[in-house]
Structure 1
């Protein structure tokens, strides 16, 4: 049986959900409390302000990104897994990314920008270890394109065949660079 999230996690989940589904302006403390099923006072006990919710999201991004990069590092072919994992799948990290991107589009949140940079650095480090510093940015940008297209509209997402062709092309590029 899955473990129930703590009240703090449930409030942060509600914050992410409101931001993703309704936009950053709709993510008032009252709206987040209602979505989480807690009183506004209960929300304020765990997160004393909206900025504290943003800080909580930054912490969540750091944790999820570090966990994902570590899992990627343990893969036999981290580059292929990274590319295949670039399609938006509505996972916890995907939801956190979307919420963070929405928040930084309209407001200045240095902690979110820094957390996103740390996640990106973690992924790029794993990729660079696998294929070298010169090709890691190329793979990262391909991944960003796949992620963006699949996140904008599922109809724009590359097919599984397209993704496998991209993986094969990257393998070919890496092989040629090493020769």
Structure 2
């Protein structure tokens, strides 16, 4: 993937829109075999904080295990994806390379999809469970699939994911 064609998020938080990364989302989702709308929905859910590399470096200084990149990926999740898919980049590269961050997120969603049971409670779509897995981890995703109700933070993530589906679709169509 040509990460040079993908600009870093702006320094000013109000100027960031995940729709700017629609092409990278479409490419990464296709490569990973997941829904582009799922990946874009995750980007919109993770857009609550500024993603400019300088701000993420400052944030890491204050909170060393902070998540990085436009997909807000935690180190443990990234390291698992890196090993599984033999990625050459480092976790720290996520903050400087939006295309790489999106690719890692799409691959992580693919991995979660492979671990999600084929049968699950009907109150959630498969994409909703994958988004919950991205946010709350694989173990919680599998519990939600069995019918365990999400806690307040996961429930909030799910509500925002559902509310942003149209916006994600429009960004990809745009």
Q: TM-score, normalised by structure 1?
A: 0.23
Which one has more relative contact order, counting CA pairs under 8 Å at least 6 apart? 2
Q: TM-score, normalised by structure 2?
A: 0.23
Q: Identify, as 1 or 2, the structure richer in helix.
A: 1
